[in-house]
Amino acid sequence: MRRVRIVPTGTANLASVAAAFRRLGAEPVLCEDPAAIEAASHVMLPGVGAFGAAIARLREKGLDRALIARIEADRPTMAICVGHQLLFAESEESPGVPGLGVVPARVERFPADVRCPQFGWNAIAAGSDALLLEEGWAYFANSYRAGEAPGWRIATAEHGGRFIAAMERGKVVGCQFHPELSGAYGAALLSRWLELS
């Protein structure tokens, strides 16, 4: 059975994430040990809520350095919602607070002329070079989004313009949407990621 270590950011709905992995036959384990996070076969970085509060929790526990090290080593890592945003250098939501910085770009709020937050299903368009990401429909709950991710393969969605719905680089995946709430589409993505070694 594949074990997935889940990083508690203090701002995530961990129950739904854990349930999604159990449905796929994986064992979710909450973990705040930096050495275990760095060495684990698979790590999930979830998040709901504020960018600043989530990154502060990671730094307080020394988990930021462990996550950066495993991402740089191309170990299977998935980040979702605010966890996905934490991969970026900074966010308009928390000015002056640096993120993990593995993506040299900024997360910004949706424009004022669209519904914010975006709640509900949206279509995903995956690039032809994507390995794990596919076209389909996924569930979103977000007020902020990124428009670019240099060096990453991306899938996009439209809400107040084109934005990054998900991205991948090697064995690392970031999802602005919630795969654990995205039915068969999300389950299939989680399953493909779990198969990475």
pLDDT attached to residue 9: 85
Instruction: Assign domain 3-194 to a CATH class.
Output: alpha beta
Q: What is the pLDDT of residue 29?
A: 97
Residue 11 pLDDT: 65
Q: Would you please indicate which residues are annotated as catalytic (active-site) residues?
A: 81, 178, 180
The pLDDT value recorded for residue 197 is: 87
**Stretches in the chain below the pLDDT threshold 50:** none
pLDDT at 28: 97
Sketch the domain layout of the chain as residue ranges: 3-194
Q: What are the tens digits of pLDDT across the range 100-128?
A: 999 999 999 999 999 999 999 999 999 88
Alpha helices in the chain (DSSP H): 14-23, 34-39, 51-61, 63-72, 82-86, 183-194
